[in-house]
Amino acid sequence: MSQYILRRLALTVPVLLGVSVIVFMMVRMIPGDPARVMAGEAASEADVERIRQQLGLHLHPVVQYGIFLQNLFRGDLGRSTMSRLPVIDEIQAALPNTVELAVASLLIALVIGVPAGVLSAVRPNSWVDAISMFIALVGVSMPVFWLGLMLMMVFSLRLGWFPTAGNDTWRHLVLPSVTLGLSSVAIIARMVRSSMLEVLRQDYVRTARAKGVPEGRVVMRHAFRNALIPVVTITGLQFGNLLGGAVLTETVFAWPGIGRLMVGAITARDYPVVQGTVLTVALIFIIINLLVDVLYAYVDPTIRYD
C-alpha cells in the first residue's frame, strides 16, 4: 500500500506540470490587458508600459512560464496584480470557506441521496422509486445559479429565514450548501440505486433471503456494503466537483471562497491568482482520487495494491 501511495504521489508532479502549462496559456488568451486594467482606462501608454514592465508581461511567454515554474518549485505562487498580496495568502484565506461549503453540501447530498437510492432499489418500479428518481431528475436538471436565486428569493426575501450573503454564522451556510448539494443528490441517488439493483440480483443475496435472514440485514449488510465501491467513487468525484463547482454558488451568495476569488481574478485579468487557484483545485482533485483509491481497500478486503 505504501509503495502504491508513493507511486501515485510521484505522478502528481507531471499532472500538475501539465495543468500549469494549460492554465498558463489559457489565462493569456483571455481578452484584455492586465496592465491596462491596473492602470485604468484614463492612463497613458507610458504608464501602462511601465506597469507591464513591472509585471514582466513584456517578456516572451516561454520566459514568463519559466519564471513562474521556477517560483512554483520554491512554493511561491507570486503576488496578485490587483491586491499586491501573496497569492498563497489569498488562497489560504479563501480555501477553508470553500472546503466548509463543499463538506456541508456533500453531507446534504449523502443524507438525502443514499437513502433515496437504497429505497428505490429495494422497491423498484414502485411509487417510492418513481418519486425518488423524479426528484433526482429535477435536481440534476436545475442550473445551480437559478436554484440559488430561487432559494434566495423564497427563503431570504419572502420568508426572511436565512441571510442572502456572507459567512458570519451557520445560517449563512444553509442556502449555499443546499443549492450546491441538491445537484449531487441526484447523481448519488441514481448511482446508489443502480449499484444496489445489481447487487440485489446476486446469488448470495437470494441465498441469504432463502435462509430467513431479515430483509433489513440483507439489504444493509449483504447488499449495501458490496454496492459501496461505485458509490465511494462517485462520492469522491462529487466532492471534487463541489469544490470546483462552488464558483457559481459562491458568486450568487457572495461566499468568500476560492471560487469567488477565481472569478474576481479572471475579471481583473489577475494571472497569478488564476494560476494559483486552478493549481490548488487540481491538487485537491488528485489528493481526493488517491484517498478514494486507498479507501477501496478498506471497503472491499479483496482489493490489494501490490
pLDDT attached to residue 128: 76
Domains held by the chain: number:
1
Residue 211 within any structural domain of the chain: yes
CATH of the domain at 162: 1.10.3720.10
Residue 159 within any structural domain of the chain: yes
Handedness of CA 19, 25, 31, 37 (dihedral sign): positive
Residue 200 within any structural domain of the chain: yes
Residue 172 grid cell: 449563512
Residue 14 within any structural domain of the chain: no
pLDDT attached to residue 216: 72
Residue 10 within any structural domain of the chain: no
Pick out the chain residues at pLDDT < 70. 1-5, 8, 31-45, 47-48, 55, 57-58, 222, 244-245, 296-306
CA–centroid distance for 262 within its chain: 13
Residue 61 within any structural domain of the chain: no
* pTM for the whole structure: 0.76
Strand partners, 79: 86
Q: Residue 155: which domain range? A: 88-299
* Nearest by Cα to 92 from 104, 77, 103, 82: 77
Residue 170 within any structural domain of the chain: yes
Residue 151 within any structural domain of the chain: yes
